Structures are given as C-alpha cells and as structure tokens.
Structure 1
Amino acid sequence: MTLPTQTVVKELDPVFTEMATASFQLTESGTQLTPRELTLLSLVADVCAQTLGTPFELHVRAALDNGLDADDLRELLRFISYDSGYPAALAALERLSEIEREHGLPGPTGQSHRVNADGTDSPILPAMRAEVRVLDPGFADCMDLQSRMRADMSRISIRERAFATTTVDVLYQTLQESFRAHVGRALGAGATPDEVRAVVHATAPFGMTRTWRALNVLDTLLADLEELQGKQKAKNA
C-alpha cells in the first residue's frame, strides 16, 4: 500500500509530528472505542473540516487497515451527508475516488441500499416528528426524507452511525436538539454513557475547545436522562 504514513508528516515538521502523535495517543489510550470506530470518527472529522489532503489519506489508510472497504467508506459518506452537508460529503467522495485511483486501491463493488426517496414513512420517533412538524411542515418533510433514505443502510452499524452524527454535532457545535437525539440514539443502540463520552473525547485533536464545550453539554444531558429514568422507575414501581 502506497498511502502516506506518519513518516510523510515527520518530513514536513518533526516537532509537529511529535505533538500530534502525543495528542492522538493520549486521546486513544484507555478509550472504550474500537480502532474501527476511532477511524470512522476521524473520517467524519475530515469531512466536517474538509481536511481532504494528507489527513484524509492517513485516515483512509487506517480505515483499510481496520477492515473497512470502499463500499463501507461510501456508506459512511452517504450517511453523514445530511448532517455534514451534501457538498462537504461530495468533496470527500470525490477525493476518496482520487485516492483509490492514485494508489491503485480497490474501488467500490456497487453494493448499495434501498433509498426509498418516494416513500412516506420515517424511522424518526413519532414525538420528534410531531415536534418538528409544528416548527415547520416543509422542514419536517425534509427530515423525513433524509431519515427514510438511510433507513436500510447496514454496512455501518446503528451504534457507529450514532457515534458519527454525534461527532458532527461536536465539530459543528450543534449541541441542542440534534445532539440530544444522537446521544439518545447511541444509548438506545447499547452504548454506555462512558462510551458516548469517549466519542466526544475523540474529537479533541480536531479542535479541543469545541470538545470542552460539548463535554459540558453532555454532562448536563446525561444527568437529565438519568433523572428522567429515575422518575420513570419510581412511577412504574
């Protein structure tokens, strides 16, 4: 494989390389996330920041080393496109194709999923759908479409998808409605509060001050959810 390694970065600036390596090692040490999950989150960060040069190539290499293939990477880009924005995801898709051609890597096999753009249903929770429809019916239709078009994805797990969209929230600082929904989705997929916190921690090398703010919001959110669960248990007792 001819994709760049850390040696390329070291040639640019050995001191920077030492700083970056130490930062990523500290973030990843003792984490409850898998190498595959960390790699996916790094790719999401690249899309959000549009760092599609050497950082993206390094993360594509890491993805391939962790068992992800061209079809997996495309599903990730398709999935996050509605949160990252379609233009940002398109730029990453274009760059991914260039990397595959430049380095002779296997391309996509054409495996896909049912888009269901013409349907009327939506996997969004009924209460959330109703809330958004009151806010703006046209926007509610847009949300229904986005969720419906992704409902049949299977290469990236529900847990991984929730982690990916939570990462977008941290990097875009959308820490209200969508952050709450995505954290809830991660917990609903079986992630523990500590694992969700590890997802937020993993964003630190991509912008520490945003991580700081997100951790404060996450702590409040988890406390609120714990209190709500306590009230529900007491009511059902």
Structure 2
Amino acid sequence: MTQLAGADALSALDPVFAQLAVGAGHNLWGLTHLTMREKAFVCLTADLCHPHLDLPLAMHVQMALANGVDAESIRELYRHLAPYVGYPIVVPAFQRLIELGLPEAEDTEAVKPAPLTGPLARAVRDLEDVDPGLAAFSEDQLAQRWARPHLSVRERAIACLTVDVFYQTFDESLRLHAELAKAGGATDDTLRDLLCGVAEFGMPRAWAAARALRL
C-alpha cells in the first residue's frame, strides 16, 4: 500500500488516529473515476473550506506534487476558488504555500475575462431576476476564471462541487457545477467517487450531497 504523505507526522500525534486517517486517505486515492490531479484538488479545496492551513495543507501539497500536479496548477486552483470560499481565506493560504516552498507564480499576466456561455451564462441570467447587482458581480467573477489556463473546466467544476458539499449549497450552485463537470467529461460514476472521497472530510455532509444529487 502506498505511503501517504505526512503519515509519520500523524503517528507522532496519535498512532490509532493515524491508522484511521491513513485508511480514509487510501479510500480517496484508490478511487478509479477521478484523476490523480482531481483527487489532489479535492484535498486542497477541503483545506480552504475548513480552513486547515497547517499540517493538513502541508500533507496535501506534498501529495499533490508527488502525483504530478505542478505548482502553477495549485496556485490556479486557489485563484479559481477565491470567490467561492472567500478572498480573505485564500490570502493566508497563499502565504502558507510560500512557507512550504512553492515556487513563485509563473503566470503574472493581467486577467482577461472571457464572455460566458452555456450553463454559466444561464446562471447569471437567472440571477438577474433576483438581484441585478449581484448578477453583475457574479458575471465578472465567473468571466475571469472559467476560461483560464492551468485547470480544465472539469477540474474547476469538481473543485466547486467540493465547496458545495462543504457549504451544503445544494440548489442552483450544486446543479450548475454538476452540469459543468459533466460537460467537461465527468460521468455519474465520477460524481459518486467525488462524494465518496469528500466523505473523508465529513460524512454527514457527503450523505446530504448524495441525496441532493440522486445519481
């Protein structure tokens, strides 16, 4: 069985807990319908949602890098998630990445918004009937993110679905991100694996999300 990053550090805290945690970790990393990058992004997203920026984040960054996730993709994940988890949470997360020795950003170009199409455009139109100002802000934030390089639409949607599970946002947000994930090539089995993997971070939330998706 593959050694999970940080297992020794967990054993030093509590040997029995370490066995339980490693078993839960192997559940996620053994799932077959998520890519290794997607599994890493689930863990890194979970760290922002709690937030867990100390040992858990260090372990997940190490695991991500060990499984071929490049540093710029980790940075892009955090850029993408800022309006979903809150900009203030992402600031100390970037500080922590620097402390962990992640290289400086390679992408320093100005952000170029891309016109929204498909489900994203529809979501903004639906929001205009509720609050035009919020719709305009949401359109601006979405347009700055979903067409950027370094992450695929499927990867971005899976990260957002992870946020939905943590924050229990099961109406428009969950449906939108599930639709985007499937448009990017995800299947029902992909989403089932996602829920099974996210259960490591809180089973009751995963149970509720499974009922909401009804796959």
**Deviation by residue 1:141-161 (Cα, 9 ceiling, x = unmatched):** 111110111144110111111
What residue is the counterpart of 1:171 in the other structure?
166
Return the TM-score normalized by structure 2: 0.91
Alignment of 1:90-129 (within 5 A): 90-100=91-101, 105=102, 107-112=103-108, 114-116=110-112, 121-123=115-117, 125-129=120-124
What residue is the counterpart of 2:22 in the other structure?
21
Give the CA deviation at 1:88: 1.3
**Deviation by residue 1:180-199 (Cα, 9 ceiling, x = unmatched):** 00000001111111101211
What residue is the counterpart of 1:196 in the other structure?
191
CA contact (8 A) 2:31 2:193 kept: no
Give the CA deviation at 1:114: 4.6
CA contact (8 A) 1:169 1:179 kept: yes
Residue 187 in structure 1 maps to residue 148 in structure 2:
no
Q: Partners in 2 of 1:42 and 1:110 — Cα distance?
A: 23
Give the CA deviation at 1:30: 4.1
Counting aligned pairs with the same residue, the percent is 37
Larger radius of gyration: 1
What residue is the counterpart of 1:144 in the other structure?
139
Code of the aligned partner of 1:201: C
Code of the aligned partner of 1:116: K
**Deviation by residue 1:120-150 (Cα, 9 ceiling, x = unmatched):** x434544322211011000001111101111
Gaps of 5+ in 1: 223-237
Return the TM-score normalized by structure 1: 0.83
What residue is the counterpart of 2:78 in the other structure?
77
What residue is the counterpart of 2:211 in the other structure?
216
Code of the aligned partner of 1:147: L
| Cα distance, 1:178–1:12 mapped onto 2, change above 3 Å | same
Code of the aligned partner of 2:24: S
Code of the aligned partner of 2:55: T
CA contact (8 A) 2:49 2:85 kept: yes
Matched pairs, number: 210
